[in-house]
Copies of this chain bind each other. A is one copy, B any other.
C-alpha cells in the first residue's frame, strides 16, 4: 500500500465506502439463538439510532473471522485519535491476566498516559493463558496498528491499547488479524454507523451492540460543547474486578494525562465494579478512557478544580449507563434488577451485601421464576460478611436481624411492597408480588437500620438460556 496521510484517510472515509455493508445494526449470539443475527425485539430500544461523537476520534468494525464459524460479523474494532492523546485504563485483577492486558498496561506505564493513538480490539478469542506466544501476538496487534499512522518513533514504543475477548486458552489466528488491520484503518470513519460497527465488533455472546454518546459542558468553558462516547460488551464472566468486559470511553475534552487514571478508577468503581452477571471475574477485563482535547477549552489540570469534579460526575454517570447495558444483556437475562442496600454503618458493608445478593444463584433463579422468595435475599444478606470456613464465626455488627427490612420497589411507580420489616415477615400479597415480578425491571431494597451509608449493584436473573449458552460456549 502506498503511504497515505492520516488526514487523507479521514477525508476518504467520510465518503460512503464498500465497508458500509459491515455497519448494519445486527448482532448475533455466536451460539446462535437467533441465526438471522437480528437484535431481539425486546432489546432494540437499547440500540441508539443516532449519536453525537467526540471530535478527532475515528472508528471502524471489520470482519476477520477470528472464530472459524464467524463468516460475516465484524470482529475487529479499530479506534483512532487524529492526534496523540491522553489515555488511562483499568484492568482486571485476575492473576491470569490475558496477554493484551499485560501489553496494554505496560504501554500506558511506559508512556505515562500520553501519546496514545489507537485502540485495537478483537472478539472471538481472548488471547488469555496463551503463554509467550500469546504475548507476542498481542504485541504484534499493537505494532501493526501503530504502523498505520506512519508516525516517527518517539522511543517509547507502541501507541496502541490492545484488547481481546472470547474463549480463554486458545491462540489467536494472528496472521488473519494482522492482515486485516490496514483494512480496518482504511475503514475508519466518524459516522454513527461507524461507531455502531465498532461496538458490534467487540461483542461475543451479546445480543446487541452497547454504544452511548452524549454532550456536556464544563464550568470553565460553558460555551464549548464537549462530547463523550463509549462502547462496551458483556455478557458473561461478569463480576467486579472487573466484569468480563471490554470498554472504551472517548472524549474530546482536554484532561491532563496525570489525572485520567484516578478519574477512570473512581468512575469504574461505581459502575463496572457494581454489576454482576455470574460472579466470575474474567482474565481480560479492560476499560480504557481516551481524551484528545480536540474540542479545545481549558485543560482539566487540577484534581481539586470545579472542572475536575464536574467531569468526574459526567464520566461516572456515563460509565454507569454503559455498565447497566451490560446487565441488560446478561447471558440469558430476562430481568434487570437493582439491589440497593441502605441504612448501613459503612459503604463497604453495604456494597459487599449488595454484591452478595446480586451474585446469589438462588436469588437469581427465583427472579427468573418470578418468585417473590425474599427469604433467599435475606439468606444472601446473612452470609455476605461471614468468615471463611474453618475460622471462628465473626461478629458482623453491621447486620442486626431485628433491624433489617426488605422491600420490592416496583418499576411502575406503584408503592413499595414490604416483605420484611425489622426482622418480622409481612403478610405478603402474592398476587401483587407476582405483578411486580412480571416487569423487566425491579429494585430490591435491603435496609439495615444501622446507619446512613448505601451500596448499589445491578444484576440480572439466571435462566435456562444462561445454562445453554455456557454449557456449549466453545462449540
Instruction: Report which A residues bind B (CB closer than 8 A).
Output: 92-97, 126, 128-132, 167-171, 236-237, 239-241, 269, 273-274, 278-283, 348, 351-352, 355, 359-362, 365-366, 368-369, 371, 373-376, 378-383, 385-390, 393-394, 396, 399, 401, 404, 419-420, 423-425, 462-464, 466-475
- The DSSP consensus for interface residues of chain A is loop
Contact residue among B95, B126, B352, B472 (Cβ-Cβ distance under 8 Å from A399): B95
- Cβ contact within 8 Å between A361 and B278: yes
With both chains docked as a complex, state the minimum distance between the C-beta of A460 and any C-beta of chain B, in angstroms: 13
- Cβ contact within 8 Å between A93 and B387: yes
A-B contact pairs, 26 of them (CB 8 A): A92-B383, A93-B386, A93-B393, A94-B383, A94-B386, A95-B396, A95-B399, A96-B382, A96-B401, A96-B404, A128-B375, A129-B378, A168-B379, A240-B388, A240-B389, A269-B389, A279-B361, A283-B382, A366-B471, A368-B467, A371-B471, A371-B472, A371-B473, A373-B474, A462-B467, A467-B467
With both chains docked as a complex, state the minimum distance between the C-beta of A450 and any C-beta of chain B, in angstroms: 12
- Cβ contact within 8 Å between A374 and B169: yes
Closest to A394 in B: B93
Closest to A424 in B: B131
With both chains docked as a complex, state the minimum distance between the C-beta of A434 and any C-beta of chain B, in angstroms: 11
Complex-state Cα separation, A396 to B168, whole angstroms: 21
Complex-state Cα separation, A382 to B464, whole angstroms: 27
Assuming the contacts A279-B360, A425-B131, asked whether A378 and B96 have C-beta atoms less than 8 A apart, the reply is yes
With both chains docked as a complex, state the minimum distance between the C-beta of A447 and any C-beta of chain B, in angstroms: 14
Closest to A399 in B: B95
- Cβ contact within 8 Å between A362 and B467: no
Complex-state Cα separation, A463 to B471, whole angstroms: 8
Chain B residues within 8 Å of A126, by CB: 375
Chain B residues within 8 Å of A240, by CB: 388-389
User: A95-B383, A132-B424 given. 5 additional CB < 8 A pairs?
Assistant: A129-B423, A281-B386, A283-B375, A366-B473, A371-B472
